[in-house]
């Protein structure tokens, strides 16, 4: 892809990674991703905002062909998908200084071992006049690392938002296509930003009153209709959960599956939207996306050597790390001779501020009493959703 103009004098010079299918060795990226960098030319200074992952350095260098001088390199976030090419860019432009948050400077020196003498810090609200245009730096810690910041090009209403409002989406379109907010942007929020909802809420509040006509994130297409992604974030971050229950399950010999099928039907009969997720085929991204606004998570698992199935352990660990808006969690399953499955799952999810409902566990195949207990669990979930006024 060629460099593309965002505004006169402001150009996208990033890289599109069409083939990336797994991010951080964890997050599925079925539609690839982008590493966005931007070049701002003022009458006095030329500024590069972020670099790209080192694997895509050739694309960045190609976009910078003919750029003889860069005065400032703004690094919004130290993680290498943003900063990995920085050492090479610093070598190419020896006159350039690096501008970063105070915490970011410390982390940048640890992660990339660049020349400390060329790294300068900016404080919250500091400005940089590049000649006819002004950049204002906004420290925004914990979206999603402690050193992150954003930059506002006040004259043009462009917000360089770092990971906030981003998406893993390789696209030839400069601006977000239809479906991006509901699809890749929501998944990106779920997988990366959701654990930091409280910090993100504060940063969203700080943006009120700013002239924002374009949002230029570090991943995915830009937003030229910023109200769409901002409204979506308001809902994801602060809106109530939906009247929905996730039943994440794994079954070895059919006993747990029979209970899951009974629960899914009973919940549906009681007006609760349900999503059954077979953990043998569900990836981390799909589970994270479902957790954005579900009110209840039921972990359904057989007992393996006295504890939960490893796939259920992994799913519980992930849910705990993502800290979704869950109101209730429960454990369903079967065992052969005994074990501590329910307590193990509860312990793994202790960081989720949710009511733990009584577990439903059966030895071997479920009998009539066991299935009746499953129905009672469905009623308990439905009653609590109704009492909370969930829709």
Q: What is the pLDDT of residues 201-237, one digit of tens each?
A: 999 999 999 999 999 999 999 999 999 999 999 999 9
Kindly state the average pLDDT of the residues 46-73. 98
Torsion (CA) 100, 101, 103, 109 in degrees, nearest 10: 10
Using 50, 70 and 90 to split pLDDT, how confident is the model at 277?
A: very high
Nearest CA-CA partner of 64 in 99, 17, 98, 13 = 13
Strands 72-74 and 97-100: parallel
Let me know if domain 4-238 sits in CATH 3.30.300.30.
no
DSSP string, 230-263: HHHHHHHHHSPPEEEEEEEE--SSSHHHHHHHHH
Domain edges within the chain: 4-238, 242-383
Phi-psi group of 50: left, alpha or beta (phi > 0 → left; psi -120 to 50 → alpha; rest → beta): left
**Averaged pLDDT score across all residues of the chain:** 97
**Domain spanning 242-383, CATH architecture:** 3-Layer(aba) Sandwich (3.40)
For residue 264, the model assigns a pLDDT of 98
pLDDT at residue 1 in the model: 73
**pLDDT at site 170:** 97
Say if residues 150 and 160 touch (Cβ distance below 8 Å): yes
pLDDT 10s digits, 82-130:
999 999 999 999 999 999 999 999 999 999 999 999 999 999 999 999 9
Return the DSSP state at 193. Answer: I
153 backbone dihedrals φ, ψ, rounded to 5°: -90, 95
Residue 254 has pLDDT above 80, yes or no: yes
Nearest to residue 88, comparing CAs of 54, 44, 46?
Answer: 54
Q: Which of 70, 226, 95, 100 is nearest to 157 (CA)?
A: 226
Q: Work out the average pLDDT over 251-273.
A: 98
Q: Is the pLDDT of residue 46 over 90?
A: yes
Mean local confidence (pLDDT), 291-313: 97
User: pLDDT tens, 10-37?
Assistant: 999 999 999 999 999 989 999 999 999 9
What is the residue-wise DSSP string for 316-347? HHHHHHH----SEEEEEEEESS---HHHHHHH
Peptide bond just before 25 cis, omega within 30 deg: no
């Amino acid at each position: 892809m060629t460099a593309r103009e965002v505004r006169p004098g402001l150009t996208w010079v990033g890289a599109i990674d069409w083939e990336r299918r797994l991010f951080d060795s964890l997050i599925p990226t079925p539609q690839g991703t982008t590493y966005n960098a931007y070049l701002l030319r003022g009458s006095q200074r030329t500024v590069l905002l972020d670099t790209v992952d080192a694997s895509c350095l050739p694309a960045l260098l190609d976009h910078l062909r003919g750029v003889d001088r860069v005065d400032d390199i703004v690094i919004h976030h130290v993680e290498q998908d943003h900063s990995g090419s920085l050492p090479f860019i610093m070598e190419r432009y020896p006159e350039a200084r690096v501008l970063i948050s105070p915490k970011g400077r410390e982390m940048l020196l640890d992660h990339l071992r660049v020349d400390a003498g060329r790294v300068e810090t900016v404080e919250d609200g500091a400005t940089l006049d590049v000649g006819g245009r002004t950049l204002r730096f906004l420290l925004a810690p914990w979206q999603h690392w402690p050193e992150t910041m954003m930059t506002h090009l006040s004259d043009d209403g462009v917000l360089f938002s770092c990971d906030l409002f981003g998406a893993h989406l390789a696209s030839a379109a400069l601006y977000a296509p239809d479906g991006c907010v509901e699809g890749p942007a929501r998944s990106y929020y779920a997988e990366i930003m959701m654990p930091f909802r409280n910090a993100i809420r504060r940063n969203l509040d700080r943006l009120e009153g700013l002239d924002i006509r374009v949002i230029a994130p570090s991943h995915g297409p830009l937003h030229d209709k910023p109200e769409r992604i901002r409204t979506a974030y308001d809902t994801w971050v602060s809106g109530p959960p939906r009247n929905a229950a996730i039943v994440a399950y794994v079954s070895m010999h059919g006993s747990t599956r029979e209970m899951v099928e009974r629960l899914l039907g009973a919940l549906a009969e009681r007006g609760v939207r349900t999503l059954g997720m077979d953990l043998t085929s569900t990836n981390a991204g799909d589970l994270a996306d479902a957790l954005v606004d579900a009110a209840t998570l039921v972990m359904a698992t057989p007992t393996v050597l006295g504890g939960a199935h490893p796939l259920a352990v992994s799913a519980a660990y992930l849910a705990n790390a993502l800290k979704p808006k869950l109101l209730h969690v429960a454990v369903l399953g079967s065992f052969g001779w005994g074990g501590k499955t329910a307590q193990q799952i509860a312990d793994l999810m202790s960081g989720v501020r949710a009511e733990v409902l009584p577990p439903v566990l059966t030895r071997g195949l479920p009998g009539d009493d066991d299935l009746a207990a499953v129905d009672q669990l469905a009623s308990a979930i439905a009653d609590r959703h109704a009492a909370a006024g969930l829709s």
